[in-house]
Homo-oligomer: A and B are copies of this chain.
Amino acid sequence: MSQSEGSARGRILEVAGALFSERGFDGVSVSDIATASGNSTGLVYYHFKDKSTLYESVVREGLHLLEATAVRTLGTPGRPIDRIRSFVREYMALLEGQPALMRLLIRSVTDVSTPPPGHVLMRSATTIERLQSVIDEGIAAGEFRVTDAHLAATALFALVNTLITARVLETPLGQSSGGSVEERAEFMTDLFLRGVAACS
């Protein structure tokens, strides 16, 4: 909010996120970030201890967004089936709207050497657990019939992430999976729910 304090810092974070997501941790120099944000390298080191800390801050910010979506959609009362639907819809819409975030997360998962190691996976695990407990509720309510709720939750999470990943990665190649986010989200959720449903 304050003009001088935090303004440059915020701009650095923003630019760093865009660059890291496109070229990866090693592919971006501190000087790149400084220049692109209209600052000096010294200022970057004034605000962030080192390059790793800056990267960590960017990832942490993105993760917070996703987690908030999971909590909001899965945590509200309602039928399991509806909560899952709204989770998939909003989660996919969020990531589709921020391609840089999705790319950044994929990168930070694969770059074991990169900080924070395993952080993204840990957060993903809590989202999967949240999904799992909703599926467990569905089983208890007799709406779902599935032998392993955790595996089912993982599968759903996999579907959501990979469909978005495919879209994000295809863009630079000029390909397209076709259909809007909403359409693909619905198709995917239907597929999953049919696979998981207590077939009447």
Contact = CB atoms under 8 A, between A and B. Distances in A.
Interface stretch (A3-11, A47-55, A61-69, A186-194): A186-194
A106 B113 contact: no
Contact of A191 (B162, B173, B192): B192
A118 to B, nearest CB: 5
A184 B148 CA distance: 10
Interface string A140-176: 0000001110111011011101110010011011010
A78 interface: no
A187 B109 contact: no
Copies in the complex: 2
A113 B22 CA distance: 8
Given A148-B187, A169-B109, A163 B159 contact: no
A156 to B, nearest CB: 9
Contact of A107 (B27, B110, B151, B166): B110
A125 interface: yes
A111 interface: yes
A31 interface: no
A165 to B, nearest CB: 8
Interface of A: 22-24, 26-27, 103, 106-107, 109-113, 118, 121-122, 125, 146-148, 150-152, 154-155, 157-159, 161-163, 166, 169-170, 172-173, 175, 177-179, 184, 187-188, 190-196, 199
